[in-house]
Structure 1
Amino acid sequence: MITNPTRQRSLRGHKASRPSPRAANTAEHQAMLAWRLTPRDKWIIRMLWEHRVLTSHQLTALAFPSFRSGRMRLRELWTWGVVDRFQHDRLLRGLYDLRSLFGDKWVPAIVVALRAGPLRRIEVLSTVNSYFIDENWTDKQPVLHDSILARTLKKMRMQGLVFRERSTKSFPPEVEYALNPAVADALRAAEPLIAWTRAHPDLLAQAQEYSRKHGQHGGSSGDEGDDDFPPRPA
């Protein structure tokens, strides 16, 4: 009977890291590649040199028996610094990064409230509750409670989105919250996306109608009822 089993973390192999550009140009790294690269790898490199950009699906169809084996080998080539990841991968990661930062229900409203300058928590609460949030997406008018605001501000502060500072404008000093300047830059960068929503009112109206009927996170995951949706525009 094993009374002191080895931890699973200790059983895992070392996860190789991608070399820096300087390390990738060393003689040791080049020698390692000469030993590890297969004729198929060298063919992939020639194809990428000729075409500049190929997707993982294209390379898999051309050189690998399955998508899984192709994906694993391409990841190894990326880890060794032989190939770069494609643009859609960075785009996908960037979109999920933005969702993780600003996807909380109350974060956008708090960010907009702090755009004009630092506010006390009670001022943030009253400002956010004066907004008409989700009025086109749901029939319910959400209300921000102080306990939820406190948790949300703490999370935003830990993430670096806002700063918590003491105001010297009053005595005794009061705590105020201010936006990280980088978040203010993000608001300015969001203007083209906001313009995009205004340029596509029909798409927005269709999504809002579905949300009011089924909820923003509701609806069936199956294919039932697809015939009820409007046809794809020409």
Structure 2
Amino acid sequence: MRNQKPQGFFYLDHRTVDAKYNFITDTYITAGNVHDAVPYLERLAVQKQKFEFPVEAVALDAGYFTGHICKTLNEAGTFVVMGSRRFKGGNTKVPKRLFTYVHSMDAYACPMGCKLSYATTDRDGYRHYKSRPQDCENCPLRSDCFSAKSKQRSIARHIWEDEKEKVRANKRTPSGKKLYKLRSQTIERSYADAKELHGFRYARRRGRKSVQEQAYLTAATQNIKKMALLLSRRT
């Protein structure tokens, strides 16, 4: 199971809603141990094909913040905003954020101005940058920057980190802030209504197929009620 999730046998509903009317456009059930980011791009493609509409912008929580999703959506011309992810652990005294990446040199600059040059790329797609041992030997930050057993500082950067930085920049724009704020009024409210008003907190039958049927019926009920409410306001 994922961190901060209850232990046991559960299902996850990967749901998509539109930002204007909060209609549920897709609901997809997986086992509880499937990460949110795994089915996302496939389900987005299904919706594009089914409804034949262009996806202009999306707002996602931090669970979807992967290089692959950022790269795919950026290349599609979709405006993306996502929640920030905070990772525990690592070097707290001289953290990675104090190191500046210089695109023109494809290298990092440490807080003291020394260069960390590219060394290698691992199988997970991370490029590793390392400092020179002679630069770190007499550095005043030496004891806090890395362990006594090491001779140099190493920084890892994913090959699609630039795509993730574009998404981070989107969230800092006025339109990005407005779009991300809508999440609490749209998708979060949709889940809350399903759980509190439509018995969606528990699976009524066992098996993914049966739970998927329950998800379809719940989503259809919510959409019909929303349609009726919208039509009543227009008359």
TM-score above 0.5? no
Q: TM-score, normalised by structure 1?
A: 0.26
Task: Tell me the TM-score normalised to structure 2 length.
Answer: 0.26
Task: Answer with 1 or 2: which has the greater Rg.
Answer: 1
